[in-house]
């Protein structure tokens, strides 16, 4: 599929399209001026829109519509097809479709019996959902720092945060790149703690040849509109363990039918809710899955090409991939910006200059541990009742993350996955935009 058919800029990044392509090199071969200084754009700005679709989606949806089986409790042909297909892609025995990535995580923690008095450890650099699912169970979210080279959870900080109250580890494969799976799993094993993989951004990412979502007690995936596998809203749980899978299945279906394939079987004392996926969601996922592997391959090839070029630009460093990484999903392409190599130009100006070049990018997550929304937990009446004021004040003190403070505010830049669905020329133009900006940083700084 030709991305230039999709003359629709990523709504997620909210960046407008450039009207005409342009050249970043002058005819003399010298580097052209940056667009912010009146030069031509490095890229026409026509990166792929998202989602991509064709008649496959329409056909799959119409089949569900006309079948009259719209929910999971009927024949569930589309859902069963999706669960089997995605399980085969991940190389796991079990996949359970659910309504979102958040509900996948919430269900896993529920099936683990996480509740008041328990502590769950998660990284600071993540989407707020990773934190919210812990508080929804009235457990204490313990926020730990990241490895600033990768922006992934720092295993040392994670191990240090373990206390007798720790009930689970909740690391995140952020940006779709695996965290240090070997070290995290080793710590989980050493302390006899379940590892729940937040793989919401990491469809088909792999560690030493095995897909993420197959290492911990369970993995959670999101199919929200921006994700590499997308049905608007949706999610899935991947699981290697037969019994734990039954607990997840039961929790997601009002605590019913724990030990049987029949959804109508009575509950067995486990708590529960309804986060069942619909047949419409599964139909779209089945259609989108027909392209997932080819898209993942293209993203990886383009990311490798781009990283090779960016590594040659002083002050630009692609986010580190750990040695065991055999594939990143590249939901986001993250790189670090060092302003000292750009004449001291602040990150915001760099981003404005990149956007002007037709290359959409932005800063990513901030400092979740300092958000009012998060610190307010220390004053939440239920938390004060469960944990007491002293513990909640100590909790505020525990959440310091100096690596993240610096990296998230001064250094990290995101580009969105659709930009990696383009051509080698697109990658060359992205790199060229940075070279132009670097060359003219002194002038740009003062605009
Ligand atoms: C790391 C991470 N965890 C959890 C979620 C929650 O997924 P959803 O939006 O499908 O509920 C997301 C979604 O953006 C995410 O990126």
Q: Give buried/exposed letters for 319-346 (b at 16+ CB in 10 A, else e).
A: bbbbebbebbbbbbbbbbbebeebeebe
Helix H or strand E encompassing 96 = strand 94-98
Q: What percent of the chain has pLDDT over 90?
A: 89
pLDDT of residue 273: 96
For domain 55-285, say whether CATH 3.40.640.10 is its number.
yes
Tally of CB atoms within 10 A around 190: 10
Which of 107, 127, 179, 332 gets mutated to test ligand 1 (max ligand atoms within 8 A of its CB)?
127
- Domain 3-50+292-364+407-445 classification at class level: alpha beta
- Where are the domains positioned within the chain? 3-50+292-364+407-445, 55-285
**Residue 21 pLDDT more than 80?**
no
> Model confidence over 298-350: pLDDT tens digits?
999 999 999 999 999 999 999 999 999 999 999 999 999 999 999 999 999 99
User: Is the backbone peptide bond immediately before 389 cis, with ω within 30 degrees of 0?
Assistant: no
**Residue 3 pLDDT more than 50?**
no
What does the alpha-carbon distance between residue 194 and residue 215 come to, in Å, rounded to a whole number? 10
430 is written with which tokens?
């992205």
Question: What are the pocket residues of ligand 1 if the criterion is a CB atom closer than 6 Å to any ligand atom?
Answer: 100-102, 126-127, 129-130, 172, 198, 200-201, 222, 224, 235
Whether the full predicted model's pTM is greater than 0.85, yes or no, is yes
Give the helix, strand, coil percentages of the chain, each rounded to 5.
Answer: 45, 15, 45
Single out the residue of 326, 312, 314, 299 nearest to residue 416, CA to CA: 299
Give residue 129 CA to ligand 1 midpoint distance, Å.
6
> Model confidence over 81-116: pLDDT tens digits?
999 999 999 999 999 999 999 999 999 999 999 999
**Residue 30 pLDDT more than 90?**
no
pLDDT of residue 16: 29
Give residue 323 CA to ligand 1 midpoint distance, Å.
25
Q: Which residue has the tokens 């030990």?
A: 259
Residues 186-194, mean pLDDT to the nearest whole number: 98
Backbone CA torsion sign across 182, 186, 189, 195: negative
């Amino acid at each position: 599929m030709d991305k230039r058919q999709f003359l629709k800029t990523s709504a997620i990044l909210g960046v407008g399209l450039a009207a005409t392509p342009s050249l970043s090199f002058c005819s003399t071969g010298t580097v052209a001026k940056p667009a912010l200084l009146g030069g031509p754009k490095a890229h026409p700005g026509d990166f792929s829109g998202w989602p991509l679709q064709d008649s496959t989606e329409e056909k799959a949806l119409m089949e569900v519509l006309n079948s009259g089986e719209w929910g999971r409790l009927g024949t569930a042909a589309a859902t069963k097809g999706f669960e089997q297909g995605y399980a085969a892609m991940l190389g796991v025995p079990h996949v359970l479709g659910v309504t979102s990535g958040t509900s996948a995580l919430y269900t896993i923690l529920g099936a683990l019996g996480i509740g008041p008095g328990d502590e769950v450890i998660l990284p600071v650099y993540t989407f707020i959902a990773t934190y919210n699912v812990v508080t929804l169970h009235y457990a204490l979210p313990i926020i730990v720092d990241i490895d600033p080279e990768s922006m992934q959870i720092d295993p040392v900080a994670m191990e240090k945060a373990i206390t007798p109250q720790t009930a689970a580890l909740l690391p995140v494969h952020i940006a779709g790149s695996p965290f240090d799976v070997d070290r995290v799993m080793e710590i989980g094993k050493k302390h006899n703690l379940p590892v729940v993989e937040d793989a919401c951004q990491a469809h088909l990412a792999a560690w030493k040849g095995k897909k993420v979502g197959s290492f911990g007690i369970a993995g959670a995936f999101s199919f929200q509109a921006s994700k590499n596998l997308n049905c608007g809203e949706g999610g899935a749980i991947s699981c290697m363990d037969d019994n734990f899978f039954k607990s997840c299945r039961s929790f997601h279906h009002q605590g019913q039918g724990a030990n049987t394939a029949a959804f109508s079987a009575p509950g067995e004392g486990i708590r529960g809710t309804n986060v069942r996926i619909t047949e419409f969601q599964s139909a779209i996922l089945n259609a989108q899955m027909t392209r997932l592997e080819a898209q993942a391959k293209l993203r990886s090839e383009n990311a490798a090409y781009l990283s090779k070029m960016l590594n040659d630009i002083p002050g630009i460093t692609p986010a580190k991939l750990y040695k065991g990484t055999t594939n990143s999903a590249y939901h986001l392409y993250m790189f670090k910006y060092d302003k000292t190599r750009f004449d001291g130009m602040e990150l915001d100006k760099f981003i404005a200059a990149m956007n002007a070049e037709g290359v959409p990018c932005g800063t990513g997550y901030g400092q979740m541990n300092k958000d009012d929304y998060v610190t307010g937990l220390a004053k939440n009446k239920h938390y004060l009742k469960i944990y007491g004021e002293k513990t909640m004040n100590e909790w505020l003190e525990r959440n310091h993350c100096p690596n993240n403070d610096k990296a998230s505010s001064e250094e990290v830049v995101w580009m969105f996955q659709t930009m990696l669905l383009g051509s080698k020329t697109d990658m060359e133009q992205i790199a060229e935009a940075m070279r132009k900006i670097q060359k003219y940083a002194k002038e740009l700084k003062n605009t």
